[in-house]
Structure 1
């Protein structure tokens, strides 16, 4: 079973406060630390450490972009 993290804990994994770079999508937290597109904790106008579920609607790609990343936790409701 995957660990659960609060939004506050997710926010710390923004690539600035800690080395980890995480984003959430549909309740799952993904580690995007190794992605060159998230290297500084941001990807275009999106910032790591956040739930990107609503923002994906405006992205030029689909949710399948998350398939290449590992789910490392669940976002607490």
Structure 2
């Protein structure tokens, strides 16, 4: 499985590159096909970031990530 830096993840924000990726607990998910992530934004959250800390404010659990493909690991 590929590994990506935070800088590489940041480019997958739906604007700099067409991919829309987010990280959660060290895994990077492709949310490009989600209607809720149009243009790289989901409510007050932006793609291309590690959203691990922000999940506590979400109205859903981490199970939401099960429907998205994992594209790699986030390098520390």
The answer to whether TM tops 0.5 is yes
Per the alignment, in what secondary structure is the counterpart of residue 24 of structure 1? Answer: strand
Give the CA deviation at 1:39.
1.2
Q: Runs of at least 4 residues of structure 1 off by over 4 A?
A: none
C-alpha deviation, 1:71, in angstroms = 0.5
How many pairs does the alignment contain? 76
Q: Give the TM-score normalised by the residue count of structure 2.
A: 0.99
1:74 paired residue number: 73
TM-score when scaled to structure 1? Answer: 0.97
Question: More helix by proportion, 1 or 2?
Answer: 2
For 1:19, the equivalent position in structure 2 comes to 18
Task: Give me the whole-angstrom Cα distance separating, in 2, the residues matched to 1:52 and 1:10.
Answer: 12
Q: Are 1:7 and 2:26 matched, yes or no?
A: no
Question: Which ranges in structure 2 are unaligned for 5 or more consecutive residues?
Answer: none
